[in-house]
Chain A
Amino acid sequence: MALVFAGLCGHGPGFTGRAELADPEPRDALYAGFERLRLALEDAKPDALVVVAAEHFANFFMDNMPAFAIGMADSYEGPIEDPDWLKIEPTSVPGNKDLSRRIVSAVMQDVDVAYAEEWKFDHGIAVPLHFLTPRYDLPVVPANINCQGPPLPPLHRCWAFGEALRRVIDAVPERIALLGTGGISHWPATPDSGKINEAWDREFLERVLNHRRDELLAYTDEDVYRDAGQGGFEMRTYVAVAGATQGAEGELWFYEPIPVFAVGATIAAMNLG
Chain B
Amino acid sequence: MSLYYVQKLLYQLNRDPHVRKRYDSELDELLTEYDLTAEEIQAIKALDLGLLYVIGVNGQILMHFSALHGIAWPDYIEALRQGLKKYGPVREGVYAETGYQGIAAHDEALRARRAATSQGKT
- Closest residue of A by beta carbon distance from B71: A85
Taking a contact as CB atoms under 8 Å apart, the answer to whether B63 and A194 are in contact is no
- Closest residue of A by beta carbon distance from B84: A191
Known A-B contacts A18-B73, A57-B14, A80-B14; A23 and B94 likewise in contact (beta carbons under 8 Å): no
Taking a contact as CB atoms under 8 Å apart, the answer to whether A23 and B111 are in contact is yes
Taking a contact as CB atoms under 8 Å apart, the answer to whether B103 and A191 are in contact is no
Which B residues, 68 to 97, have Cβ-Cβ distances below 8 Å to chain A? Answer: 68, 70, 73-74, 76-77, 80-81, 84, 94-95, 97
Q: What is the number of residues of chain A that contact chain B, defined by CB distance less than 8 Å?
A: 43
Q: For B95, give its contact among A120, A190, A259 (CB under 8 Å).
A: A190
Q: By DSSP majority rule, is chain B's interface helix, strand, loop, or mixed? A: helix
State whether the Cβ of A181 lies closer than 8 Å to any Cβ in chain B.
Answer: no
What's the least CB distance linking A56 to chain B, in Å? Answer: 4
- Closest residue of A by beta carbon distance from B111: A23
Taking a contact as CB atoms under 8 Å apart, the answer to whether B107 and A56 are in contact is no
Contact with B along A109-142 (1 / 0, CB 8 A): 0000000000010100000000000000000000
Taking a contact as CB atoms under 8 Å apart, the answer to whether B111 and A187 are in contact is no
Contacting residues, chain B, for A26 (C-beta < 8 A): 110, 114
- Closest residue of B by beta carbon distance from A85: B67
State whether the Cβ of A149 lies closer than 8 Å to any Cβ in chain B.
Answer: yes
What's the least CB distance linking A227 to chain B, in Å? Answer: 10
What's the least CB distance linking A223 to chain B, in Å? Answer: 14
Known A-B contacts A58-B14, A58-B15; A259 and B73 likewise in contact (beta carbons under 8 Å): no
State whether the Cβ of B55 lies closer than 8 Å to any Cβ in chain A.
Answer: no
What's the least CB distance linking B71 to chain A, in Å? Answer: 8
Q: In the assembly, what is the distance between CA of A25 and CA of B61, in Å?
A: 31
Contacting residues, chain A, for B64 (C-beta < 8 A): 56-57, 80-81, 122
- Closest residue of B by beta carbon distance from A62: B4
Taking a contact as CB atoms under 8 Å apart, the answer to whether A229 and B63 are in contact is no
User: Known contacts A23-B111, A193-B103; can you find 5 more A-B pairs with CB under 8 A?
Assistant: A25-B114, A189-B62, A190-B80, A190-B97, A194-B102
